[in-house]
Each structure stands twice: as C-alpha cells, then as structure tokens.
Amino acid sequence: MASEHDTMILRGGKPLRGEITVRGAKNNIPKSVVATLLTSEECTLTNVAHIEDVEIVSDMIRAMGGEVRQDDGTLVISTKNIQLPTKEQFQSFSGRSRIPILFAGPLLVRFGKAMIPKLGGCNIGSRPVDFHIAALKEFGAEVTEDEYFYYFEASKLRGTKIALNYPSVGATEQVLFAASCAEGVTELSNAAVEPEVMELVALLQKMGAIISVDTDRVITIVGVPSLGGYEHAVMTDRIEAASWACAAAATDGEIYVKGARQMDMTTFLNKFRQVGGDFDIKNDGIIFRRGKKGLSSIALETDVHPGFMTDWQQPFVVLLTQAHGVSIVHETVYEKRFGYIDALNRMGAHIQLYQECLGSKKCRFGQRNHFHSAVISGPSKLRGTEITIPDLRAGFSYVIAALVAEGESTLHNMNLIRRGYEDFRHKLEALGVQIVK
C-alpha cells in the first residue's frame, strides 16, 4: 500500500558531491541465500545490503522453518530444520521478486519436490521461466503446472547436457544449483558468465562443489553427494555503483563510490570515459566526475556479460540527455526496457524510440514490434515534474533526472527503490541533495 514515505520531493539543479558506500549486490545476495538450501550446515554472509529483496528471500527461508539472523551487514542462515513449504507458505511471495523460481532446483535436491508460485511478467518484459523448466526436465524432473503454481518432482537429479537458448543469468544459476548435487557430470553451454554468476560459482566451490568455467560460455559441473556451509563476503553492487557514477557526471559533481570494483565494471568504465566521464580508481572504491571536455554523444548496445549491462542502461540514458550530439542505445536483453522514456521527455529530454535494431547486433526483438532502440538528442535542459516510478532501475534514473532538472520534482513509488538500493535517502543527503519532503 502506498504511504507518504513512498513520495519524495527533490530540488534539482545542483551538483552531487561527496562520498557514499555501496554494499553487496542485490542480484547476488538472494542467490547466496538460496544456496543455503543445499546444505544443513550454518552459512554466514557478510557485506549484505539492507534491501527488500534480501528480506523477501530471508522470509522465504523462514517460512520453511529455516533460521535467518540479521545483524548490520551480516546474515547467519541455517536451513537444518527446514520442511518442504506448502503452497500457502510460498503463495504470498508470488510477483514480488524473481527469486522464487530459483528455489526449484535446491528444493528438488533437498526434498525431491518443489511447488513454486508463478512469477508473472513485469514492467520490463514478459520474463518467462521456460529455460529454468526445460533445464530441470533435463535433470530428470517432472514438471506440471496450474494457474498459479509450477510443480516439480524427481526422486534424484541426473547430470546432463544443457544448451541454453540465451545466456540467461537465472537459468544458469538454476543449473549450477541442481548440477552441484546431481549424480554425474553436467555440461552447460551458452551459459551466462556475469560477475554475479561467477561469484555464485565461487560460493558453491567454497561449499564443496566442483565447477569449471571453460571458454565459450561452457560450464562443467561434477556433482557431489553433499555440500557444506560457507563464510562469504558478497561482491559490491556494480549496478548501484554505476548509477551513482551517472549521477555524478550528469549533475557535473563528483562522487567517491566506496566499494566500487573496477574489475566488475570495465565495460561501463569504457563507455563512461567515451561519453566524457572521468574517474580515479582507488584501493577501496572509484571517484566519478564529469571530464573537463564535457559530455559528448555515443552509440551503445546492452548485452550479456562482457557487454554493457541492461541494468546500466537507464541511468546512462539520463546521462546521455546531457551529452552534446545524437546518441543511440540499442537494448538487446529485454524487450520493454524503455517504458520510462515518456516521463524523461515530459521533463524536456529529446528521446525517440524505434522498433528497429539500431546497432550492429541483430537481437531477438527486431521485427517484433518492440520499441527497443532509443535515439537521444542532447544536451537538454530538464524541468522538475511529478513522476510515478514504474520499476527499480527506472526509479534511480528518474531520481538522476530530477537532480539534473531545474526546480522541484515529486517522485511517487519510492518504495520500489528500496527493493534494491540501501539507505537511499541518507545517501542522497550525504551528497548534498535538497530533499524537500
């Protein structure tokens, strides 16, 4: 339910300056929590950001009788006494996050059964789970479904050969979970190799799994009979770090993003430099600012790793509204990830969307009536306005636009931002933002 805390009024037009710390990655912490289902030993996770997605996955473990203790930045998890969840216990998590489907493989390992609520589509695309289902069938699971649930059953999982149609992050993680404890060897081709996936590989190796990442997106997993507990510090959220970088350059300020790791962001840093951003790599983070020559236009395509992340796209587009010239952004990961553009145009941006693939890569969305290419003419003077945030990443980009804009902006649905960004309000204040309400 919307509350008055879900609305924020910001005054823009002032550079952001200061220092903030970014903690563990939203797209990795929940997967590390799901991994605890593969062991009855205690697991300790540090550098955990306090965000809603972590609460959701912790509540799912608790709903099954597991223990999750949370103390500033640390989660201690034990699934020793968990029971197979009932439909009622999991029903309430449907539609709140993408995580429930990842419980399927681990629950099959633990109980030979799983009932997973359907996730539904969302504001950025239809987001099906067909790769997850097909992969689990390859391991020998029987899968049925009704209107609200998928049902999985397997007396044991057998190692197998799986080729993904597309290098899906979630489906790769599903296979890693299932294969780690399956009987025999699994070879996964066309796997996702995002740093968050590699982090999960490292975590599972700590737990006793045998996983090798070969060239050409092939991952080989030798199943082991059981896994043990772990102690693990989560990687920094590279999406949040990049978003603050865009905020620094777009407002012509300077932000020291403590925790940002160069190795996970090299593709972003290249594009950031090409558009006219400047940065200093420090031992404990990265300082971002606008370069002396100002911002100039660029062409880019989002892609799976090592390409430019789709989750960097929205803040980067706001940055491009402040660059001189005509920029092109071709979104190739999701079919509907430009839904937030209308509001930017209402603020004074000049962005035109196209159904054609405006890039060198032919993507899955060409000729399918999806507006997945954007042409941005800049620089544009943005004006404050009233906006309703449609999703997490669009939310941060609207905040950046509001900070660039002259005057006040009213942002509704700020609760969506809390799903993935820790301490958002305090960070804005630390950077000198005037929050009117």
- Does residue 421 sit in helix, strand or coil? coil
Nearest to 101 by CA among 120, 88, 83: 120
Closer to ligand EPU by Cβ: residue 181 or 333: 333
One character per residue 307-336, x = contact with ligand EPU (rule: CB under 6 A): ---xx---------------------xx--
Edge-to-edge strand ranges of the sheet holding 219-222? 161-163, 185-189, 219-222, 210-213
For 342, residues 6+ apart whose C-beta sits below 8 A from its C-beta are none
Say how far apart CA 253 and CA 210 lie, in whole Å: 46
DSSP string, 329-395: EE--S-TTTTTTHHHHHHTT-EEEEESS--SSS--TTTTTT---EEEEEE----B--EEE--SHHHH
**CA-only gyration radius of the chain, Å:** 22
Q: Nearest distance from residue 87's CB to ligand EPU, in Å?
A: 22
Q: Which residues pair with 258 in a beta bridge?
A: 21, 285
Q: Nearest distance from residue 388's CB to ligand EPU, in Å?
A: 17
Instruction: With contacts defined by CB under 6 A, name the span among 126-134, 249-257, 349-357, 402-410 that binds ligand EPU.
Output: 126-134
| 98 interacts with ligand EPU by CB under 6 A | yes
Of 128, 228, 407, 432, the one binding ligand EPU (CB under 6 A) is 128
| 267 interacts with ligand EPU by CB under 6 A | no
Q: Nearest distance from residue 413's CB to ligand EPU, in Å?
A: 15
| 290 interacts with ligand EPU by CB under 6 A | no
- Structure token pair of residue 328: 């092109």
Closer to ligand EPU by Cβ: residue 335 or 408: 335
For strand 386-388 and strand 408-412, is the pairing parallel, antiparallel, or unpaired? parallel
Q: Nearest distance from residue 288's CB to ligand EPU, in Å?
A: 20
| 27 interacts with ligand EPU by CB under 6 A | yes
How big is the CA angle at 126 (ends 99 and 393), to the nearest 5 degrees?
65
Instruction: With contacts defined by CB under 6 A, name the span among 69-77, 128-136, 352-360, 371-379 that binds ligand EPU.
Output: 128-136
Q: Nearest distance from residue 224's CB to ligand EPU, in Å?
A: 25
From 122, 246, 357, 363, the catalytic residue: 122
Q: Nearest distance from residue 280's CB to ligand EPU, in Å?
A: 27
| 370 interacts with ligand EPU by CB under 6 A | no
- Does residue 98 sit in helix, strand or coil? coil
Active site residue 122: yes
Backbone torsions φ then ψ of 405, nearest 5 degrees: -65, 155
Query: Which string of b and e fits 391-408 if b means at least 16 CB within 10 Å?
Result: bbbbbbbbbbbbbbbeeb
Q: Nearest distance from residue 325's CB to ligand EPU, in Å?
A: 28
Closer to ligand EPU by Cβ: residue 134 or 185: 134
Instruction: With contacts defined by CB under 6 A, name the span among 62-70, 127-135, 141-149, 350-358 that binds ligand EPU.
Output: 127-135
Closer to ligand EPU by Cβ: residue 362 or 437: 362
Closer to ligand EPU by Cβ: residue 290 or 370: 370
- CA distances 124 to 59, 237, 304, 371, 382, Å, are 25, 20, 16, 12, 24
| 127 interacts with ligand EPU by CB under 6 A | yes
Say how far apart CA 343 and CA 408 lie, in whole Å: 15
- Looking at 58-196, which runs of residues are DSSP E strands? 67-71, 74-78, 113-117, 142-145, 149-153, 161-163, 185-189
| 129 interacts with ligand EPU by CB under 6 A | yes
Nearest to 182 by CA among 159, 211, 206, 200: 159
Please check whether residue 242 is in contact with residue 421, taking contact to mean a CB–CB distance below 8 angstroms.
no
| 261 interacts with ligand EPU by CB under 6 A | no
Closer to ligand EPU by Cβ: residue 121 or 325: 121
Count of residues in contact with ligand EPU, rule CB under 6 A: 23
Instruction: With contacts defined by CB under 6 A, name the span among 16-24, 41-49, 54-62, 163-171 that binds ligand EPU.
Output: 163-171
How big is the CA angle at 318 (ends 316 and 320), to the nearest 5 degrees?
70
- Structure token pair of residue 13: 């037009």
| 166 interacts with ligand EPU by CB under 6 A | yes
Q: Nearest distance from residue 129's CB to ligand EPU, in Å?
A: 5
Of 24, 105, 125, 223, the one binding ligand EPU (CB under 6 A) is 125
One character per residue 175-204, x = contact with ligand EPU (rule: CB under 6 A): -----------------x-x----------
Question: Residues interacting with ligand EPU, by CB under 6 A?
Answer: 26-27, 98, 125, 127-132, 166, 168-171, 192, 194, 310-311, 333-334, 392-393
The catalytic residue positions are 122
